[in-house]
């Protein structure tokens, strides 16, 4: 079932769909609604209460309301278990490979564990 647009913003949002794709493997990592017109600061901030507003295309100044992101568990179900996790020389996360698909988007970064 497709999520509903937030009340009062029906005419300012696209239909629900993938809005962010991983820059390495090209698979979708976030879903929501693209903004279709300028809202002004007050309405923009109000819309942000319904999810996270992110710039999805800096060249064209395209913004989207993200309401769902791909979790590591979902990625493992869709693409296969983790076959590789790349960590940089200073311990920073670089990528995770699920089956044969390598993701570099921070949405797939492992959670930091507190000691």
Query: Could you please report the per-residue DSSP string of 57-102?
Result: ETTTTEEEEEEEE--HHHHHHHH-SEEEEEE-TTS-EEEEEETTEE
pLDDT confidence band for 112 (50 / 70 / 90) = low
Taking the C-alpha atoms of residue 15 and residue 35, their distance in angstroms, rounded to an integer, is 10
- The predicted structure's pLDDT at residue 115: 43
- The predicted structure's pLDDT at residue 58: 75
- The predicted structure's pLDDT at residue 57: 86
* Per-residue pLDDT tens over the stretch 55-100: 998 788 899 999 999 999 999 999 999 999 999 999 899 999 999 9
* Per-residue pLDDT tens over the stretch 2-52: 899 999 999 999 999 999 999 999 999 999 999 999 999 999 999 999 999
- The predicted structure's pLDDT at residue 73: 95
């Amino acid at each position: 079932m497709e999520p509903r647009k937030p009340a009062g913003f029906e005419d300012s949002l696209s239909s629900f769909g993938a809005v962010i794709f991983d820059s390495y493997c090209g698979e979708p990592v976030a879903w929501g609604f693209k903004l279709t017109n300028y809202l002004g600061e007050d309405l923009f901030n109000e819309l942000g209460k319904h999810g996270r507003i992110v710039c999805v295309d800096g060249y064209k100044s395209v913004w989207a309301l993200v309401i769902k992101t791909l979790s590591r568990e979902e990625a493992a179900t869709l693409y296969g278990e983790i076959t590789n996790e790349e960590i940089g020389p200073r311990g920073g996360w670089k990528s995770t490979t699920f089956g044969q698909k390598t993701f570099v988007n921070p949405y797939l970064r492992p959670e930091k564990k507190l000691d």
